[in-house]
Structure 1
């Protein structure tokens, strides 16, 4: 069944750890690292991809080297939390590239966003012109990150 979660053993976990560190490594190198031969490693890799455990491969960018060192977290409270309002908000969020992450929360607010910009001035513009104008936004609260202690995908 496609929605069924696959059983992951120690070799599967080793594959996932190795690829999360270097998604460009060859199957031969991957097999060497996890202690299997190439053929079973390829079969496991294909199974992990088909099961959706490995959702894709991408380059890991350095936001700081790209001039995007300012990070703020924004709590968003909506004026309407019925399904249609949530869907409208969710769709609109996807159009704002500065919103790096957006999570619906079970909290005293509705959404938590991670917003990445060049500086506080650009953040202020994004907040005022884009985030505050998203559908059904009633209020926001901003928390500026001073330092990233840990940022990883997994």
Structure 2
């Protein structure tokens, strides 16, 4: 059963955006920045966590700073009925950062990271050797001009929702 979406307003959107930018930001700082009471921020964060909208607080890593300079996406085509086995093998591969199921010619998009191109080649060879992988196409990431973001989408989704359930939009907000 799919969970019903919860309604968000502009305050929710701004809180999510602020926590996405800096997961360690304190409740008092957020309340001051948003122009609302600390209890309001705490209640909103609790509601967003309990509803599953906020699913943990993850720091943003700069993999280059720890010597992992090569990022790539591997598009994998699978033999029928092998999805679970292939995903299980990908989860066991430490260089796999993310796995997405897709439509189209390929069945999976796999984000991999490595220190060097030679290490990446080894990772790709291990992935291609997984039973059930029938074809792969690897694309090396050159730059990331736009990192994952949520704020523009949240702003669009909440533009007509107002600011808070009982508060007016702050002046200049």
Q: 1:66 Cα shift?
A: 0.9
Write out aligned runs for 1:79-118 (5 A).
Answer: 79-80=79-80, 82=81, 85-118=82-115
TM-score (norm 1): 0.90
Distance 2:58 2:106 in 1: 32
Distance 1:150 1:97 in 2: 25
Distance 2:40 2:142 in 1: 45
For structure 1, which runs of at least 5 residues remain unmatched after alignment?
none
Distance 2:24 2:141 in 1: 31
Distance 2:141 2:21 in 1: 25
Distance 1:116 1:153 in 2: 20
Instruction: Tell me the SS of whatever aligns to 2:48.
Output: helix
Q: 1:153 Cα shift?
A: 4.9
Q: 1:33 Cα shift?
A: 1.4
TM-score (norm 2): 0.81
Instruction: Tell me the SS of whatever aligns to 2:124.
Output: helix
Q: 1:31-68 deviations in whole A, cap 9, x for unaligned?
A: 11122111111111110111111101122211000111
Please identify runs of 4+ aligned residues in structure 1 that moved more than 3 A. none
Q: 1:82-104 deviations in whole A, cap 9, x for unaligned?
A: 2xx21111111111121112111
Considering Cα pairs closer than 8 Å and 6+ residues apart, tell me whether 1 or 2 has the greater RCO: 2
Q: Which moved more, 1:44-53 or 1:2-11?
A: 2-11
Q: Which moved more, 1:135-144 or 1:2-11?
A: 2-11
2:121 equivalent to 1:137: no
Distance 2:25 2:139 in 1: 38
Aligned length: 149
Alignment correspondent of 2:154: none
Query: Is the contact between residue 102 and residue 108 of structure 2 (CA under 8 Å) also seen in structure 1?
Result: yes
Alignment correspondent of 1:150: 146
Cα root mean square deviation, aligned: 1.5
Q: 1:133 Cα shift?
A: 2.0
